Structure 1
Amino acid sequence: MKGDRATLWRMGGFGAAALVFTALVIAVRVRWVPMESLDRGVANDLNAVIAPSRFLVALMGGISRLGSFGVLGWLVGIGATVLVFRRRYRLGAFLLAAALGGLILDPSLKLAVGRLRPVVEQPVAHGGGNSFPSGHSLNSFICYTALLLVFLPALRPAWRRPALIGVGTLVVLIGFSRLALGVHFVSDVIGGWSLGAAWVGLCAAAFELARHEQGRRVTHPLEEGLEPESAPELHLTEHPRPEPKQRYVAPAAGLVAAWVFTFGALVALGLPLAHYRHGNGNVLGDHTIPHWFAAHRSAAMDRIGSLGGTVGNTHAILAIGLAIGAVALAVTRRWRPVVFLAVVMFGELTLFLAAAAITGRARPDVPNLDGKLPTSSFPSGHVAATICVWAVAAVLVLGHTRAWWRWLLVAAAVVMPLWVAVARMYRGMHHPTDIVGSCVLAALWTAAAWWVLRPNRDTGDSPNPETPNRDAPNREAPDQNATSRTALSRTAP
């Protein structure tokens, strides 16, 4: 009965939030004068303070992006991936249902209410669609609250209240940033929060009722999370044995040395190519191949080449890297594979930027299809990043499974860079030797990072967890000498 009363109280809470949202909808539709006066006064006052300062505009824009679909989508996707691989399907369903509900409610209600966005004296941002309710406020409230309710059991009790305060502060800052940028009224933001509270409360109440029907204990979600008994599976990693800090000095020094030597190899290769005939000599077909591609362009090949360039650009590589990191963390429960991925990708980026700045090689002397770019032609950042991210995926999979599908990722590590390389040359963006430089960068740096970090070491470098590591001591085997000595002592007179 006590659990039932607590559930009823929480249902009453999200009912009150829904009532607030309904009242705001009515006030917006009838254009209630006191509310509209407050909305427009706050919008104009904030615009007068924020618009003249580039720093404040940039700061508000950065905070606002934390409530965008891109950021929230990745957070929910990573959270759902962890839950699925840890077999917490009910929690995964709750998280996805809450997030998808926000995606449906936001545009639907914007169309139904039809409120125009604020018009301020000094516009600093643009918002698409109608104004009520604020989509950033709604979806940030839903997604961050849902993630907190799901993963709260993984936190120590002392950290749970600070986590609640942190999430609440973040949601408030996101809502305020929409006001400061002049793209929403106060009532839009409050409407988004109240609707978000009602929706998350409804989803949480449904989850609790399902637990009650299964005979499970009804919890206090803001204190324990939705499913406290899942805490062992919700921890992102297991707790390895602590290592002395000195153990990190040698790997760091090794990575720095590898970076320097790789950079030296790129400069030694790129500078002569950049100066030979102003970067458009015919070494390895640097002149012939781009001209041949330019002479054989077609509409169909343009689309294939454009897609090849897209799968190797920064956004695609970032998306693939996040997906690989999420799956690796969910499956291995170790930070080492994630650190390996981060080191490889960050090193690739810095090596590419540094080498491009030093070499300054001109693009092929053919019409290019991507416009003028600020970076050098040597090496190809698209190709190097594609090689690195898919090589990391292949290394991690080969180190953790013997399943047949591991060869699909090995094939992708070959096919994807080849596609991107041909696409970049077809579009007139790179010479063949630029591709060679990317291969040198990716091969040297990825191999060095693998050698230093040993990303599969936590599994004994054995593809099958059930296969023992021959190099490791057999702790379960009895000491034969000790057994013999004991037997002799028993038989001795």
Structure 2
Amino acid sequence: MSAVIDGLRRPLGHFTERTLAGLALVLGAGVGFGLLLVLVRVHWTPLYDVDHGVAAWLNALVAPHGPLVTVLNALTGLGGRSVIIWLVSVAVIGLLIRRQGRLAVFLIVTGLGALILDPALKTLVDRLRPEVKVPIGSYAGDSFPSGHALGSFVAYGALLLVFLPAMSPRWRKPAIALVALVVLLIGLTRIALGVHFVSDVLGAWLLGAAWLGVTAYAFRLWRLERGRRVPGWTEGLEPEAAHEVAPAPDEAHLLPHPRAAVFELLVGWVLVFGALYGFGMFVSYHAGGTFLATLDSEVPRWFADRRTPAWDGFSFWWSKAGDTHAILLISLVFCPLVLAVWRRWRPVLFVALAMFGELSLFLAASAAVDRPRPPVGNLDGPLPTSSFPSGHIAATICLWAAMTLVVLPRTDRWWRWLFVTLAVVLPVGVAVSRMYRGMHHPTDFMGAILLGTLWLGLLYWVVRPNEDLAEGNRPAIESEQVDELDDELARAGRAD
């Protein structure tokens, strides 16, 4: 009996010790934030002097260096609301797909809390932004606390706690250090860009630590009520979910022969570029008197003669389906969903290489061919690239065709045909809108088709994104379903 009591007493003692230590840290962060808030509100002179002195000193130090400002703006973007919302949303959807509802709820509650606290406190404090001599950073709203510093602390910290179990123990401390470094750099960039005072960032970190500590502590109590052990912080929130939160736990290797694959892709890229360059030079400068020259001359004029304000607006929004922002957004949603559902990196690599190759081939061919835009009034103004090939059309073809090649063989659901339809309709619609707006010739459209066909064909042959569907290597979701069925049959057999 005493052994049983001792066995219960030890884990409870560990939990009590960890709880007290955690509560002390949370309370310390909360008290520190409250004290700082009071000092900001009463305009405490020493704090005021430090804040404004550092802001002026950093502005004089950073503003003259354009490349440094560019780097700082890129780093500060990692704490922007759009990036944070994307990261948390993708993680929540992935966790729900993997049936990790409690972890998804933790991320939702923690993230929403930060989203509510930031504007609420800014309105309460109503502190003006720093006034620097040379403005170099963009901002909106009040100053205290820093939304970027608060959001990055809470979001990256919460994601770290959720996904730590998926890492091997030797990589957990480096991962914690990396996240801490990213959060630190984001906060420092807000000060260096002159959009926040030092106390704004310190206040955000203290508030973020307090809020993240409260939600993590609530999750630990949730586990205790369910009769589960309370893990150490370096184990993450749910150690038992290590397999489920790992991005691709069922994939032994990405490519069987990576060096050969890299060589094949490099040689293939050069060959595709050669084909693009040859076709582009022919239609741009040597096709006079041919049917292609007539097509390139008459089609842009035909569209230009039939422009109306309504069609101008419609073509503008339709062409947006192929611009960089839309393509990047769709890619950043599709790739994490592929990981969540099929637990494979290779389809993600296929889509990523499709877009990277398309962009590099488009830029190289555009610079080499240097084809003028059609001789009609264009509706989008001057652009930094030449006419051949169309980047909008090529990107649309590569993205939607790559996604279709991944999805089509992996499901027998009716919605897979939506990808086939969009892979045809969207490139045609973008092509028509770009020619209507006077930005491209018909042969630029042909060049985009040539680019997409050759590059995707090469990638499919080298990467083989659906190799895991071969006999004896089932997709992860199907394998789990079959394993569950086998277990049920085994239990039924034992019952008989």
Query: What is aligned with 1:237?
Result: 248
Q: Shift of residue 13 of structure 1?
A: 2.8
Q: Distance in 1 between matches of 2:108 and 2:393?
A: 34
1:338 and 2:342 equivalent?
A: no
Q: Shift of residue 279 of structure 1?
A: 13
Q: Shift of residue 351 of structure 1?
A: 0.9
Query: What is aligned with 1:225?
Result: 236
- Does the CA-based 8 Å contact 2:358-2:452 persist in structure 1? yes
246, 257, 260: which is aligned to 1:250?
260
Query: What is aligned with 2:90?
Result: 78
Q: Distance in 2 between matches of 1:341 and 1:146?
A: 28
- Does the CA-based 8 Å contact 2:251-2:345 persist in structure 1? no
1:300–1:98 CA distance, 2 compared to 1 (3 A) = farther
Instruction: State the AA in 2 paired with 1:182.
Output: G
1:192 and 2:204 equivalent?
A: yes
What does 1:45-444 correspond to in 2, within 5 Å? 45-220=57-232, 222-238=233-249, 240-241=251-252, 247-275=257-285, 283=293, 285-444=295-454
For 1:115-148, what per-residue CA distance to the aligned partner results, in whole angstroms no more than 9, with x for missing partners? 1111122322232221111111101101110110
- Does the CA-based 8 Å contact 2:283-2:292 persist in structure 1? no
1:159–1:440 CA distance, 2 compared to 1 (3 A) = same
For 1:41-84, what per-residue CA distance to the aligned partner results, in whole angstroms no more than 9, with x for missing partners? 11112222222323432332222122122332332233223322
Give the stretch that moved more between structures: 285-294 or 362-371.
Answer: 285-294
Instruction: State the AA in 2 paired with 1:410.
Output: V
- Does the CA-based 8 Å contact 1:400-1:463 persist in structure 2? no
Give the stretch that moved more between structures: 184-193 or 459-468.
Answer: 459-468
- Does the CA-based 8 Å contact 1:399-1:461 persist in structure 2? no
For 1:125-174, what per-residue CA distance to the aligned partner results, in whole angstroms no more than 9, with x for missing partners? 23222111111110110111011000011111122122222211221111
Query: What is aligned with 2:49?
Result: 37
Instruction: State the AA in 1 paired with 2:158.
Output: A
Q: Shift of residue 12 of structure 1?
A: 4.2
Query: What is aligned with 1:485?
Result: none
Q: Shift of residue 438 of structure 1?
A: 0.4
Q: Distance in 1 between matches of 2:379 and 2:272?
A: 30
What are structure 2's unaligned runs of at least 5 residues? Answer: 1-11, 479-496
1:385–1:148 CA distance, 2 compared to 1 (3 A) = same
- Does the CA-based 8 Å contact 1:309-1:420 persist in structure 2? yes
Q: Shift of residue 282 of structure 1?
A: 6.5
Secondary structure of 1:238's counterpart equals: coil
Q: Distance in 2 between matches of 1:267 and 1:462?
A: 43
Instruction: State the AA in 2 paired with 1:114.
Output: D
Q: Distance in 2 between matches of 1:276 and 1:31?
A: 73
Instruction: State the AA in 2 paired with 1:264.
Output: G
Query: What is aligned with 1:475?
Result: none
- Does the CA-based 8 Å contact 2:95-2:245 persist in structure 1? yes
1:106–1:445 CA distance, 2 compared to 1 (3 A) = same
Q: Distance in 2 between matches of 1:301 and 1:223?
A: 58
1:461–1:80 CA distance, 2 compared to 1 (3 A) = farther
Q: Distance in 2 between matches of 1:279 and 1:11?
A: 81
For 1:237-293, what per-residue CA distance to the aligned partner results, in whole angstroms no more than 9, with x for missing partners? 236456998x23332232223222221221121112222599999636323222232
Q: Distance in 1 between matches of 2:473 and 2:381?
A: 45
Instruction: State the AA in 2 paired with 1:229.
Output: E
Give the stretch that moved more between structures: 345-354 or 247-256.
Answer: 247-256
- Does the CA-based 8 Å contact 1:149-1:226 persist in structure 2? yes
Instruction: State the AA in 1 paired with 2:111.
Output: A
1:279–1:17 CA distance, 2 compared to 1 (3 A) = farther
Q: Shift of residue 27 of structure 1?
A: 1.8
Query: What is aligned with 2:489?
Result: none
- Does the CA-based 8 Å contact 2:156-2:179 persist in structure 1? yes
- Does the CA-based 8 Å contact 2:296-2:441 persist in structure 1? yes
- Does the CA-based 8 Å contact 2:90-2:333 persist in structure 1? yes
Q: Shift of residue 304 of structure 1?
A: 2.0
Q: Shift of residue 360 of structure 1?
A: 0.9
Instruction: State the AA in 2 paired with 1:267.
Output: Y
Q: Distance in 1 between matches of 2:55 and 2:288?
A: 55
Secondary structure of 1:399's counterpart equals: helix
Secondary structure of 2:230's counterpart equals: coil
Q: TM-score, normalised by structure 1?
A: 0.88
Give the stretch that moved more between structures: 226-235 or 79-88.
Answer: 79-88
- Does the CA-based 8 Å contact 1:340-1:453 persist in structure 2? yes
Instruction: State the AA in 1 paired with 2:135.
Output: P
1:448 and 2:458 equivalent?
A: yes
Secondary structure of 2:410's counterpart equals: coil
- Does the CA-based 8 Å contact 2:111-2:154 persist in structure 1? yes
- Does the CA-based 8 Å contact 2:163-2:236 persist in structure 1? yes
1:106–1:402 CA distance, 2 compared to 1 (3 A) = same
Q: TM-score, normalised by structure 2?
A: 0.88
- Does the CA-based 8 Å contact 2:255-2:346 persist in structure 1? no
| C-alpha RMSD of the superposition | 2.6
Q: Distance in 2 between matches of 1:210 and 1:244?
A: 41
Identical positions, percent:
49
Q: Distance in 2 between matches of 1:106 and 1:280?
A: 64
Instruction: State the AA in 2 paired with 1:53.
Output: H
Give the stretch that moved more between structures: 339-348 or 90-99.
Answer: 90-99
